[in-house]
């Protein structure tokens, strides 16, 4: 059975849909691989951010995209937040948004 991809909100998917074509194509390739083989692709494709959150590391000639995700029961991957990286370090604001959404997903998953 394959894994399923869900988005925390439509806005998260729309953000990714608005990424430059090269970054979006790389992201699509990684998502396809995650659906087939599971979310743990390892570096340089995915990386643990701690506390059950991971990042998808998409890059293209236009720059770098990051999408934070978590997994829940029934082989579901939830894309929590996405942004285009403009500096070497992941901005604290972007990380905070993803962690807040992770907490919401975890609460829902416990029910």
The per-residue pLDDT for range 28-50, each reduced to its tens digit, is 999 999 999 999 899 999 999 99
What CATH number labels 4-110?
Answer: 3.30.2310.20
Q: Where are the alpha helices (DSSP H) in the chain?
A: 10-17, 21-37, 92-110
Domain boundaries, the chain: 4-110
Q: How many CB atoms lie within 10 A of CB 29?
A: 12
pTM strictly above 0.85: yes
Q: What is the pLDDT of residue 90?
A: 87
Average pLDDT over residues 100-104: 95
pLDDT one-digit tens code per residue, 49-90: 999 999 999 999 999 999 999 998 788 999 999 999 988 888
What is the band of 1 on the pLDDT scale with cuts at 50, 70, 90?
low
Q: What is the pLDDT of residue 82?
A: 97
């Amino acid at each position: 059975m394959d894994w399923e991809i869900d988005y925390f909100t439509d806005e998260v998917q729309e953000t990714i849909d608005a990424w430059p074509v090269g970054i979006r194509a790389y992201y699509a390739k990684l998502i396809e691989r995650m659906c087939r083989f599971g979310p743990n692709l390892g570096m340089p494709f995915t990386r643990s951010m701690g506390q059950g959150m991971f990042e998808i590391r998409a890059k293209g000639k236009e720059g770098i995209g990051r999408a934070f995700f978590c997994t829940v029961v029934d082989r579901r991957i939830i894309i929590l937040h996405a942004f285009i990286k403009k500096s070497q370090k992941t901005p604290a604001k972007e990380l905070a948004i993803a962690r807040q959404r992770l907490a919401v997903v975890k609460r829902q998953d416990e029910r």
